[in-house]
Structure 1
Amino acid sequence: MSTRFYTLKDSWIVPCLLILANVGLLFLTNLFGIVINVLVIGIIGFISIFYFSYKYPRYNIFFLLGAAFLIPFFIKAFGLFGIPVGEAIQGLCFVILLTLTLNGRIGGIKTLPGILLCIWVFYLFLELLNPSATSRVAGALALRGYIPLISAFFIVYGSTETKSDVHLFYIAWFSLGLICGMYGLYQEFAGLPGFDYAWASSDENLYGALFTWGRLRKFSFFFSPSEFGMVMAITGVAAFIIFFYETKLRLRILSAVTCVVCLWSMLYTGSRTAMVMLPLGMAIFAGITLNRKVIIVVMCFMLAGTAVMFGPSSGAVYVMSTAFSGTDDPSMNVRLRNQQTIRAYIRANPIGFGLGSTGYLGMKYSPHTFIGSFPPDSEYVKIGIETGWVGLLLWCTLTAILFGYGVSVYFKTRDPVWRSVVVIALTVFFMMIVGLYPQEVFFISQVLSFLYTAMLGLLAKINGRVTAQEPKPKDSFDETSEIDDVVLHDAS
């Protein structure tokens, strides 16, 4: 077989086949347009991802993170605005879930987070039958939008087996966050590249949203400065935590640089949500660990931040300091008035107005209704409108249970390496809980949707191990150590 392969490769047959294939593609492109090119690239991408995902499941997390970070950048850079980002990420999730199923690695549904997520999905399916819904199409599209959020839990749970896999996850996350932050700094100090400026100025409303307080908010790879700011805040805090737990010098340097770059670039996003999430993330980290060194460093960080925010300031720092203005902030007053107005509607409709009844989908499919034209400006408000106070109560209850579950996992875990993973997961999860109040997080960001349930996947996986059966733990993510090859026990 080997002789035949080399004979075929060295003969004239392969070049001729490639020439015929190229000619055929050119002919089909002339007939049907660019859709043929997109189809061919899609097929090649599907085969490549399917192969690598099936062969090397540990890289599934990298595929998801890389796609969520980089697809918006390439769309702006090459003008591929016809490519639906959400559908591309959803297709990637389906491919990865398929390979995990074929590998026999799919699991997690019997864990507490898996059960609670399934309960929420079941309630969302019931909402498709909501008699108050004005558009079934909007409901189906809204339900489809939850695919990356739910899939991320099972993908992370099925793709993570060893400490080396978790190590790879954080390396990929921090590397992408570092590159993203550096590009945001480039936009601030060198100016927007031509394709970024063309996108920002392509619509008057978009430019008006980006240009506030006399400054152009920076957005880096993303379509939204708010998404960029929240991603930078979460990544910076996660890198800050790793710095305390890691003992290898090169990884401490990577985490320190990532933390500084992410928090620095966050200042230029104008995202006041990120500004609030940052100190709360630091505080919950100190509160969970109750480590004296951590508490001292966090308190110093808080004091320095308070001095900068409430002292004389201008430019980007002044904009971010308005996050703590409370009711003195005009935009916050607008949100509070909107919430006061919608409160009566939510009380009067226990199961809400149906999925996709408000926000972007509401404007598109129910533009002439009050609910459809109402700006929720909050994931909690959106959940309350679409699923009613019953759905909002269910969501908050599940969230509280999941956070308590994570705390219990932390106190059950004795291995310092796994403890650091649990601390990061809990801190990120808490920051996301806070971020859901002022932002429609799951709509504006695939990265944040992925990280939200990815942390739950890590918690469930770590909880599935038997602490007493583990070898003596070490204090760092050392891929060459014996403990890195310890496989977590599948709780399902």
Structure 2
Amino acid sequence: MQKDQNIVLNQSYQKRGAERLLSGLGVILGMGFLLVAALFFKVLGMQGAILLIGLPIGVAFLSYLWKRPKAGLWLSLVMGFLISGLSRYVVAPWGLSIDIFLALSWVIILLNEAIKVRWSFANQDIVIFSLVWMGYLIFEVVNPAGNGLEAWFYAMRGIGFYQAMAVPMVYLLFRSEKDFHTFLNLLIFLSLFGTAWGFKQQIFGVDAAEYRWLWDEEHHEEHILHGVLRVFSFYSDAGQFGASQAMMALFMGILAVGPFGFRKKLWYGLLAIVFFLGFAISGTRGALAVPLFGGLAFLVTTRNFKILAAGISAMLLVFFILKYTFLFQGVEQVRRMRTALDPSNPSLLVRLQNQITFGRYLADKPFGGGVGTAGYWGARFNPNSLMANTATDSWYVKIWAETGLVGLAIHISFLGFVLGKGGYLCMNLEDPQKKYYAMGLYASIVGVVFSSYGNQVFGQMPTGMIMNMAIPFLFMIPEWSKKS
């Protein structure tokens, strides 16, 4: 009898719920939603419909982020890998997603009282350097030689804004060893995805969107040499792909010889081989600096003379083979690397001539030609200018051209401080595993810093976002055993 009464009560409850849905207020809300949906579709077309469908997803995402602002920085790293590839398939301002995720995380940190942070953790020299650099970039807004506020806004993001947003956030929220391993595993997964996509291009060729990017957008001259594709995967170009893969190959190679268990060493060793092959199919000469200088940094920080001597001997042997022999000349990637050691290479001569051109133009401009006047943004906002029509190639030439000798001095000082302090940290760590994680990070940073002389590696995605997280992670390794 009691069971029958419960059934009747449940049916009554369901009936009352349906009645409420069909009540005056329910009908008005339903009609209102349909009216808004029709308006969105009429004004924005299919994009409006997609936007409307995405609203509840967006609300759910914001709710998740409100409790876990760390996710904003993780998503920024993921988008750093994907934005160039996505833009070849769907035209949208994908790059702004990084700004949005970082900004949302900071807003939540400031507004959500449940997120407890100790602001003293951000009182770090690297944070101060990053904020000073960003302050100088803000000063560049008034540079009379610049292209205006819009060009400045788009260009300054990769140069310093992301760094100023990410570095203190890592210090505040990502203090545990678990956070570092999440970072490491995310790098491995995304880089492996890049390697797989690269081999897809190498073996099966490019797809329709990539073909359009190569030929209709005129990237074929730098990516198809003598009929051979320089693989670029879903990265911005082959140079960025090659440098990123070389960095990961170096990092994994160092961990493979570290004080870890057999399975972990084997895993890291296999990853090093895979990433090295990814580097090889990119045909990138400038990325040779990553294993060269990064490997040398690792050998020095080991403070082991025998290992240092063996490593330098191996590097000299590779240099001798590339410079003075024709071994492996039948391999296109080796031929491409060999040209990097030719002082009469036409590409090198053009780069040197471009630097002379910049030197003349910047002779009376200690603060540079203005952020957003060179490279892609210069071509977009002032296509007929000398800055836009002279290739910067090097990251440091770009910084010099846009921010002058003053800006270059600030930026080089920051990087020099990172390399000096990082090397000291690595040499003085006593815990063997911590030491190898630190040396792997440090060697990767050194490799990227030096390879950026040949290409704009340091500020391009995903390497720029990786560096913005790797640098503070490196300096927090000694703190893992301490309570935060």
TM-score range, shorter chain: 0.7 to 0.9
The 5 Å alignment of 1:51-70 reads 51-56=63-68, 59-70=71-82
CA contact (8 A) 1:174 1:255 kept: no
Is the partner of 2:142 in helix, strand or coil? coil
Aligned match of 1:271 in 284, 288, 296? 284
Aligned match of 1:172: 186
TM-score, normalised to structure 2, is 0.84
| Aligned counterparts of 2:157 and 2:57: Cα–Cα separation in 1 | 22
* CA–CA separation in structure 1 for the residues paired with 2:361 and 2:339: 29
Between Structure 1 and Structure 2, whose CA radius of gyration is higher? 2
Q: CA deviation at 1:418?
A: 2.8
Q: CA deviation at 1:374?
A: 2.0
Choose the corresponding residue for 2:398, options 382, 388, 392.
382
Deviation at 1:412, TM superposition (A): 4.2
1:353 matched to 2:369: yes
- State whether residues 287 and 451 of structure 2, in contact with CA within 8 Å, keep that contact through their aligned partners in structure 1: yes
Q: Are 1:84 and 2:93 an aligned pair?
A: yes
Match of 1:422 among 429, 433, 438: 438
- 2:165 aligned residue (151, 170, 174): 151
Any idea what SS the aligned residue of 1:348 has?
coil
1:436 and 2:445 matched: no
Counterpart amino acid of residue 161 in structure 1 = R
Q: Which amino acid aligns with 1:447?
A: P
Q: Deviations over 1:353-377 (max 9, x none)?
A: 2211222222222223222322211
Alignment-derived partner of residue 154 in structure 2:
141
Mapped pair 1:327 → 2:343: yes
Distance 1:144 1:180, change over 3 A: closer
2:196 corresponds to 1:182: yes
Say how many residue pairs are matched. 459
Distance in 2, Cα, partners of 1:367 & 1:228 = 27
Does the alignment pair 1:213 with 2:226? yes
Q: Which residue of the partner structure matches residue 138 of structure 2?
A: 125
Structure 2 vs 1, CA of residues 32 and 220 (structure 1 numbering), >3 Å: closer, same or farther? same
Q: How far apart are the structure 2 equivalents of 1:254 and 1:409?
A: 26
User: Could you tell me how far apart the structure 2 residues matched to 1:415 and 1:18 are?
Assistant: 63
Identity, in percent, stands at 21
Alpha-carbon distance, 1:49 to partner: 4.3
CA shift in 2, pair 1:97/1:320, >3 Å: farther
Q: Which residue of 2 aligns with 1:396?
A: 412
Answering whether residue 300 of structure 2 is matched by residue 284 of structure 1, we say no
**Residue 93, structure 1, aligned to residue 102, structure 2:** yes
- Residue of structure 2 in register with 1:409 after alignment: 425
Q: CA deviation at 1:44?
A: 5.1
Equivalent position SS for 1:222 = coil
Q: What is the CA distance between 1:90 and its match in structure 2? A: 1.3
1:200 to 197, 214, 219: 214
2: CA distance between counterparts of 1:123 and 1:354?
A: 11
Q: Which amino acid aligns with 2:95?
A: G
- Give ranges in structure 2 of 5+ residues lacking alignment: 1-8
Whole-Å Cα distance in 2 between the matches of residues 162 and 69 of structure 1?
24
Closer/same/farther in 2, CA of residues 38 and 352 from structure 1, 3 Å limit: farther
**Structure 1 residue 131: Cα displacement:** 2.7
Q: Deviations over 1:345-401 (max 9, x none)?
A: 333211112211222222222223222322211121111121111111121122212
1:42 Cα deviation after fit: 6.1
TM-score, scaled to structure 1? 0.83
Amino acid at match of 2:296: A
Cα distance change of structure 1 residues 130 and 326 upon mapping to structure 2, 3 Å threshold? same
Which of the numbers 261, 281, 289 marks the counterpart of 1:248? Answer: 261
1:163 aligns with 2:177: yes
Match of 1:473 in 2: none
Residues 213, 319 of structure 1: 8 Å contact kept? no
In the aligned structure 1, how far is the partner of 2:187 from the partner of 2:470? 12
Corresponding residue number in structure 2 for 1:29:
41
1:295-319 deviation digits (Å, cap 9, x = unpaired): 4774586467457645142343234
- Asked whether the equivalents of residues 141 and 356 of structure 1 are also in contact (C-alpha less than 8 Å), the reply is yes
In structure 2, relative to structure 1, the CA distance for the partners of 1:297 and 1:253 (3 Å cut) is: farther
Does the 8 A contact of 1:273 with 1:323 survive in 2?
no
**CA distance in 2: counterparts of 1:22 and 1:171, whole angstroms:** 45
Q: Which runs of 5+ in 1 are unaligned?
A: 471-485
For 1:416 and 1:59, how far apart are their aligned partners in 2?
A: 30
Aligned residues of 2:260 and 2:433 also touching (Cα < 8 A): no
Distance 2:284 2:300 in 1: 25
CA deviations on 1:401-444 (whole Å, 9 max, x unpaired) are: 2221212332443333332332123212211211221222355x
| In 1: Cα distance, 2:17 partner to 2:375 partner | 60
| Counterpart AA for 2:230 | R
Q: Aligned-pair RMSD on alpha carbons?
A: 3.3
- Post-superposition offset of 1:117: 0.9
Q: Distance in 2 between matches of 1:259 and 1:178?
A: 11
Instruction: Summarize the Cα distance change of 1:377–1:71 in structure 2 as closer, same or farther, 3 Å threshold.
Output: closer
Say whether residues 1:367 and 2:383 are aligned partners: yes
CA positional deviation for 1:29 = 2.3
Aligned match for 1:456, one of 466, 471, 474: 471
* SS in structure 2 of the partner of residue 462 of structure 1: helix
Q: Which has the higher contact order (CA 8 A, sep 6+)?
A: 1
CA distance in 2, matches of 1:98, 1:297: 51
Q: What SS does the corresponding residue of 2:343 show, helix, strand or coil?
A: helix
Q: Take 2:30 and 2:330, find their aligned partners in 1: how far apart are those partners?
A: 60
Whether the 8 Å contact between 2:130 and 2:163 is mirrored in structure 1 is: no
Shift of 1:112: 0.6
- Range 417-426 or range 333-342, more displaced: 417-426
Amino acid at match of 2:93: P
Report the CA distance between 1:270 and its aligned residue. Answer: 1.8
Name the CA distance, whole Å, in 2 between partners of 1:37 and 1:280: 52
Cα 1:294/1:34, change in 2 over 3 Å:
farther
Cα deviation for residue 218 of structure 1 reads: 1.0
After superposition, the Cα gap between the structure-2 partners of 1:253 and 1:454, relative to the gap in structure 1 and judged at 3 Å, is same
Aligned residue number for residue 474 of structure 1? none
The separation in 1 between residues aligned to 2:57 and 2:255, in whole angstroms, is 34
Question: CA 1:39 to 1:161, structure 2 compared with 1: closer, same or farther past 3 Å?
Answer: same
